[in-house]
Amino acid sequence: MSRRMIIAGNWKMNKNSAEARDFIAELKGKADFSKNVEVAVCPPFTSLQAAASAAAGSAVKVGAQNMHWEESGAYTGEISASMLAEIPVSSVIIGHSERRQYFGETDDTVNQRVKAVLKAGFEPIMCVGETKEQREADKTEEIVERQLKGGLQGLTEEDMKSLVIAYEPVWAIGTGLTATPEQAQAMHDFIRKLLSKLFSEAVAEAVPILYGGSVKPGNAAELMAKPDIDGALVGGASLKADDFAGIINAC
């Protein structure tokens, strides 16, 4: 069975509109889009429009880094589905560990956001992953299971057709410490088996599971070669067109 391959760039709080335009123009010249790999960049909200215009007509899709579950109202600093539909985005990262760590995101708020993203017709990229302390305490599977069950609470098999999961061990994010392909594969296999229990074998087989955490051109190929790793969510290395194209071309 062949699942979709996805390489998504999470720019975090980097790149203004001009930088986003330049990056996409450069990426178009450097990445090989002839392969069966979906490519997306996720700029900050203020650069989404520029990125979408620059990417129009190309294979590059544009995603957001967060979205609120309410349509409008007194939620200072948040963005709603109809606002993202104006761009429009194709995907939205939900529950990134930085949101969980610094902005009080919980499994429950992740679940509400995921549902709203699906309702809006965008693709949620739902992030899960353990911290260094949790891994050292042998709690990795317990934590990831809790995050998955909480985040996917109440979703149907139909919903799962439009959902992407990103496994991102927190200790590997921005640290240069990549999980070994074997460590990553073991967790992707664990996640897929859990999806089979929570939903069905068909869902488990179809949902793309991306790996994230210090993915670079030099380690992308061996990670992607693992049977249950269907692409990458890339932070630091998605900020330079050369590096990001290198990862795409390594698939």
Q: Does 215 sit near ligand PGA (CB under 6 A)? A: yes
Where helices occur in 8-69 by DSSP H, the ranges are: 17-30, 48-55
- Give CA separation, 222 vs 44, 142, 170, 184, in Å: 30, 26, 20, 11
Smallest distance, ligand PGA to C-beta of residue 244, A: 11
Q: Does 213 sit near ligand PGA (CB under 6 A)? A: yes
Is-catalytic flag, 168? yes
Is-catalytic flag, 133? no
The full 3-state SS of 26-38, as one line of letters, equals HHHHHCCCCCCEE
The active-site residue, picked from 96, 98, 105, 123, is 96
Closest CA to 129 of 93, 92, 99, 171: 171
Nearer to ligand PGA, 92 or 204 (CB): 92
Q: Does 10 sit near ligand PGA (CB under 6 A)? A: yes
The active-site residue, picked from 38, 105, 123, 168, is 168
Q: Does 250 sit near ligand PGA (CB under 6 A)? A: no
Q: Which of positions 164-183 make contact with ligand PGA (CB under 6 A)?
A: 168, 173-174
Smallest distance, ligand PGA to C-beta of residue 212, A: 4
Q: Does 125 sit near ligand PGA (CB under 6 A)? A: no
Contacts of 91 (CB under 8 A, 6+ apart): 8, 40, 42, 61, 63, 64, 122, 123, 124, 125, 164
Where helices occur in 120-240 by DSSP H, the ranges are: 132-136, 140-151, 157-160, 181-198, 201-206, 217-224
Smallest distance, ligand PGA to C-beta of residue 173, A: 4
List residues with catalytic annotation: 96, 168
Q: In the complex, which residues of this chain contact ligand PGA (CB under 6 A)? A: 10, 168, 173-174, 212-215, 233-237
